[in-house]
Homo-oligomer: A and B are copies of this chain.
Amino acid sequence: MTLTLHSAWRASAPYRVRIGLNLKGVAYDYVPVDLVAGQQRSEAYHALNAQNLVPSLVLEDGRVLTQSLSILEWLEETRPEPPLLPKNPLDRQAVRAMALLVACDIHPLNNLRILKALSGLGLDEPARNAWVHRWINDGFVALEPMVARYSRGYAFGDTPTIADVCIVPQVYNASRFGVDMAPYPAIAAAAARAGEHPAIAAAHPNNQPDAAK
């Protein structure tokens, strides 16, 4: 089956799906969506994704999957090896809680459409940066003890899970915005360890065809 991923190199949500596909060893075609140029609002892209957001994963029969975490759960259910969730239900709850803390309570507050909306409300760049720092720090303060509790190399245990799938792009994003990671040694260590995994390294923004030169 040939999958086609509509992606943007620096955006967190497609970065998560690239990590998941790579960890599962699933090949896919890459179609870049230029978010800065507004390509996500084109008629062609809107027909794929009515939210005008990336990613969209198109299956061979044309079916379009949206929402990164639901794509990752589908990957886990249809391609169980290697597992991206532990076996025990309470452990799975903890992994999903770490993933959702990032995916619900940090990332949506800071993505491109929100920064544009804040700009439209008259917030200048320093004020927008302060907004981004606030929500990343707010989330990382709560995430740090969870990673410290569960990590044995990766964010949970000693193999990659959907927690790493969400944390690695969020730490990349924090670095773009100059967030000081010194208060978050467990998160920083887990993200660094995960970043060395070949499948995760291959998903890095700089390794995508649409990366800025």
Residue A141 at the chain B interface, CB threshold 8 Å: yes
Q: How many copies does the complex hold?
A: 2
Please give the number of chain A residues whose Cβ is less than 8 angstroms from any Cβ of chain B in the complex.
43
Shortest A29–chain B CB gap in Å is 19
**How far is B50's CA from A145's CA once the two chains are assembled, in angstroms?**
9
Q: Tell whether, in the assembled complex, residue A51 and residue B105 are in contact, meaning their CB atoms are under 8 Å apart.
A: yes
Q: Which A129-176 residues have a C-beta within 8 angstroms of B?
A: 131, 134, 138-139, 141-142, 145
| Residue of B with least CB distance to A106 | B108
Instruction: Decide if A70 is an interface residue (CB 8 Å cutoff).
Output: yes
Interface residue ranges, A against B (CB under 8 Å): 49-51, 53, 63, 65-67, 69-71, 73-74, 77-78, 89-90, 92-94, 96-97, 99-101, 103-105, 107-109, 114, 117, 121, 123, 127, 131, 134, 138-139, 141-142, 145
